[in-house]
Amino acid sequence: MKRDEQPASGGKGANNSAMNKDEQARHEIDEASTGQGEPQHLLFPFAPSKQAKQLNPIVLAYMGDAIYEAAIRQYLISKPNHRPNHLHREVISYVSAKAQARFLGSIASFLTEEEADVVRQGRNTKSSVPKSADVSEYRQATALEALFGYLYFSGQHDRMRQLVNMIVHAHEAEHDNK
């Protein structure tokens, strides 16, 4: 038992301890996975082995792909039409390489210097491009995903939400003009 912890049962403050058993277990997992005393700003208690800036852009894109798609799915589920086929078509209109390349273009002028650097590294990184994809669009999509991975791992969740809102508004504006 650590010095500052209260006994689990009996003794002084057993019911009023600072952390209940679940919180304590999560805290211990956070410490074990990060090697630090305080939890990271991540959804799960598994911090990357390096700081976000030191991660390979492909690794950032790998995580960013999942984070970006989860954000878009959550947005679409907030809308009234929940038919699976409709949801799938709508998600594709946001997450295809072509769409991501367009959206990166729509937010590019709003990026900080640091974000633009992550985008540049993501765009210039070497990766295999699917035969069905345009090379330029695929590189731009990888850049957007790297940005989202970077923002996620660096704990910049408010900024991620801002960019998702910008992308959603850009998508809505495209559809309003059709």
Q: What is the pTM of this model?
A: 0.77
Do 43 and 56 sit in the same domain of this protein?
no
Number of domains in the chain: 2
Say whether both 171 and 97 belong to one domain: yes
CA angle 39, 44, 50 (to 5 degrees): 70
E-only strand ranges, the chain: none
Whether 58 and 139 share a structural domain: yes
Same domain, 110 and 172: yes
The parent domain of residue 120 ranges over 52-176
Are 72 and 19 found together in one domain? no
Query: Same domain, yes or no, for 80 and 168?
Result: yes
Q: Could you say which residues of the chain have pLDDT below 70?
A: 1-40, 178
Active-site residue list = 65
Structure tokens of 127?
């990766």
Task: Give the model confidence (pLDDT) of 108-155 as tens digits.
Answer: 999 999 999 999 999 999 888 888 889 999 999 999 999 999 999 999
